Amino acid sequence: MKGDPMTKILAVANQKGGVGKTTTVINLGASIAVHDKEVLVIDLDPQANATSGLGSTEADSCGIHSFISGENSLEECVVSTEIEGLSLIRGARHLAGTEIELASQDEREFFLAEALSTSDLSNYDYVLIDCPPSLGLLTINALVAADGVLLTVQSEYYALEGLSHLIETIKRIKAHWNKRLKIFGVVLTMYDKRLKLSREVEEEADKFLGKALFSTRIPRNVRLSEAPSHGKPVILYDAYSSGAKSYMSLAREVLSR
- Taking each helix axis from N to C end, the angle separating 196-209 and 159-176, rounded to the nearest 10 degrees, works out to 30
Alpha carbon distance 146, 96 (integer Å): 21
CA dihedral 238, 243, 249, 251 (to 10 degrees): -80
**x/- site string to Mg ion, residues 48 to 67, per CB under 5 A?**
-x------------------
Residue 40 CB, nearest distance to ligand ATP (Å)? 18
The option from Mg ion, ligand ATP, none interacting with 81 (CB < 5 to 8 A, set by class) reads none
Q: Which of residues 16 and 21 has its CB atom nearest to Mg ion in the complex?
A: 21
The residue with its CB nearest to Mg ion is: 22
Q: Could you tell me if 108 and 3 are in contact, meaning their C-beta atoms sit under 8 angstroms apart?
A: no
Alpha carbon distance 102, 44 (integer Å): 14
Residue 92 CB, nearest distance to ligand ATP (Å)? 15
Residue 1 CB, nearest distance to ligand ATP (Å)? 30
By CB under 5 A, what part of segment 11-50 binds Mg ion? 21-22, 49
Q: Which of residues 20 and 148 has its CB atom nearest to Mg ion in the complex?
A: 20
Alpha carbon distance 45, 32 (integer Å): 21
The option from ligand ATP, Mg ion, none interacting with 74 (CB < 5 to 8 A, set by class) reads none
Interface with ligand ATP (CB under 6 A): 17-23, 45, 47, 49, 133, 189-190, 218, 220-221, 224-225, 228, 243
Task: Please report how many Cα atoms fall inside a 13 Å half-sphere around the Cα of residue 200, on the Cβ side.
Answer: 8
- Taking each helix axis from N to C end, the angle separating 242-256 and 21-33, rounded to the nearest 10 degrees, works out to 70
Residue 227 CB, nearest distance to ligand ATP (Å)? 8
Task: Note the residues at the interface with Mg ion (CB under 5 A).
Answer: 21-22, 49
